[in-house]
Amino acid sequence: MQLQKQQRPLALVELPVPKPAPGQILIRVSACGVCRTDLHVLDGDLPNPKLPLILGHEIVGRVEALGAEVDNLKVGQRVGVPWLGGTDGTCFYCRHGEENLCDHPQFTGYTVDGGYAQYTLADCRFAVALPEGVDDIAAAPLLCAGLIGWRSLGMTGEAQRLGLYGFGAAAHIIAQVALHQGRQVFGFTRDGDEKGQEFARSLGAVWAGGSSRQPPELLDAAIIFAPVGPLVPLALTALRKGGRLVLGGIHMSDIPQFPYDLLWEERSIKSVANLTRKDAEQFFAQITAHPVKTTTTTYPLTQANRALADLRGGKLEGAAVLDCR
């Protein structure tokens, strides 16, 4: 499914199977998650995408062919491809262990073609070898919702009382990880979304309510996954002194002006940008030791536009996944 210039929605296009260049692998795609970032690319919130473009950066499949100089993977191996699709390896950030901030990155389904397809190419260095124990459909959301959630969770330090704003794909995964770590989870949804709040409680949240409500006790930290700027001052009011607010999205609407009192007493705000290969290693080790269950709604590849529309309309519980087989 391809995004073309000045074209909405996606178009179904027949393309030749690509051939891997040196350092690349060809993947036969089994499943690809549908992420809110895909909507940001589609809507032009993220500027200057490669066009035409195949969306999708939560890719699960098997290696079909190897380009020259690939020695870390083998044909038939099950792999995942996340948002960070490549780096220059030479800039200040790459040289200092911060490849997520690379000056010249490649992003899957944004600057290079992604996984809304039957076949795709990937840089062999940034493909993730996946454990065999998780079904392809269930594994797809782990490649972005899970990984970004994991990096966001790490930004909260040792926080015990953790608020999650926007209880969708990322929150429903990372809530389970937080609970395995012995934390308490407080779930925040759209006001009036009783179904979403019940979903949060079913996963183990000790409290769930609308985002305009105050939790029963002040939080040590909170993560905002919803791309909604007005949630920032609301979440700050729910933090204890010294608490941290983490912004887990790649795009957010404008944050409204708020009084300094909400930030004072050493509260802080931290954004999360992309992910690293180390994040993937740590996350998959964590969920191998303490498995998580992803809640998914599956669509055939030909219904990618419907999946995106359902995500936009808040109709999903958990994550949407395209079955590309």
Q: Please check the confidence at residue 241 and state whether its pLDDT lies above 60.
A: yes
pLDDT at position 246 is 98
Give phi and psi for 277, each to the nearest 5: -65, -30
N-to-C CA span, the chain? 14
> Are both 128 and 166 inside the same structural domain?
no
pLDDT at position 133 is 80
> Are both 267 and 312 inside the same structural domain?
no
> Are both 152 and 80 inside the same structural domain?
no
pLDDT at position 287 is 93
Helix 277-289 and helix 169-180, axial crossing angle in degrees, nearest 10: 60
The Cα–Cα gap between 267 and 244 comes to 6
Mean pLDDT of 301-305: 97
Dihedral-angle region of residue 323 (phi above 0 means left; psi in -120 to 50 means alpha; beta otherwise): beta
> Are both 201 and 255 inside the same structural domain?
yes
> Are both 36 and 95 inside the same structural domain?
yes
Mean pLDDT of 289-305: 95
pLDDT at position 244 is 98
**The 207-210 sheet, strands edge to edge:** 207-210, 184-189, 161-165, 219-224, 239-247, 268-271
Q: Which of 227, 244, 271 is the last residue of a domain?
A: 271
pLDDT at position 298 is 97
pTM for this one?
0.93
pLDDT at position 93 is 98
pLDDT at position 5 is 61
CB neighbours of 139 closer than 8 A, spacing ≥ 6? Answer: 31, 60, 80, 130, 294
Q: Which residue's entry shows tokens 């966001």?
A: 152
pLDDT at position 132 is 80
Burial of 161 (0-12, 13-18, 19+ CB in 10 A): buried
pLDDT at position 211 is 96
Mean pLDDT of 142-170: 96
pLDDT at position 314 is 87
Q: Look at residue 192 and give its three-state secondary structure.
A: coil
pLDDT at position 184 is 98
pLDDT at position 6 is 53
> Are both 117 and 223 inside the same structural domain?
no
> Are both 198 and 249 inside the same structural domain?
yes
**In CATH, what number is assigned to the domain containing residue 36?**
3.90.180.10
Looking at every residue in the chain, the average pLDDT score rounds to: 95
- Taking only the tens place, the pLDDT of each residue in 213-224 is 999 999 999 999
User: Beta-strand (E) ranges in the chain?
Assistant: 2-3, 24-34, 53-54, 59-66, 78-81, 84-86, 106-107, 119-123, 128-129, 161-165, 184-189, 207-210, 219-224, 239-247, 268-271, 296-300, 319-323
Q: Does 82 sit behind a cis peptide bond, omega within 30 degrees of 0 on the bond before it?
A: no
245-276 burial code (b ≥16 CB/10 A, e <16): bbbbbbebeeeeeeeeebbeeebeeeebebbb
pLDDT at position 7 is 58
The CA-atom distances, in angstroms, between 99 and each of 96, 263, 307 are 8, 30, 31
Mean pLDDT of 156-182: 96
Whether the Cβ atoms of residue 127 and residue 141 lie closer than 8 Å to each other: no
- Taking only the tens place, the pLDDT of each residue in 189-211 is 999 999 999 999 999 999 999 99
- Taking only the tens place, the pLDDT of each residue in 106-143 is 999 999 999 999 999 999 999 999 988 889 999 999 99
Give the chain's domain count: 2
CB neighbours of 282 closer than 8 A, spacing ≥ 6? Answer: 150
> Are both 16 and 137 inside the same structural domain?
yes
- Taking only the tens place, the pLDDT of each residue in 57-84 is 999 999 999 999 999 999 999 999 999 9
> Are both 212 and 281 inside the same structural domain?
no
- Taking only the tens place, the pLDDT of each residue in 244-270 is 999 999 999 999 999 999 999 999 999
Higher-pLDDT residue of 264 and 314 is 264
The CA-atom distances, in angstroms, between 106 and each of 38, 54, 274, 277, 282 are 15, 14, 11, 14, 22
Look up the domain containing 31 and give its range: 2-143+275-323
Mean pLDDT of 83-91: 97
The strand pair at 207-210 and 119-123 is best described as unpaired
> Are both 223 and 319 inside the same structural domain?
no
The Cα–Cα gap between 317 and 325 comes to 23
**Strand partners for 80:** 60, 128
DSSP tally for the chain: helices H, then strands E:
9, 17
> Are both 129 and 173 inside the same structural domain?
no
> Are both 298 and 179 inside the same structural domain?
no
7-19 burial code (b ≥16 CB/10 A, e <16): eeebeeeeeeeee
pLDDT at position 293 is 94
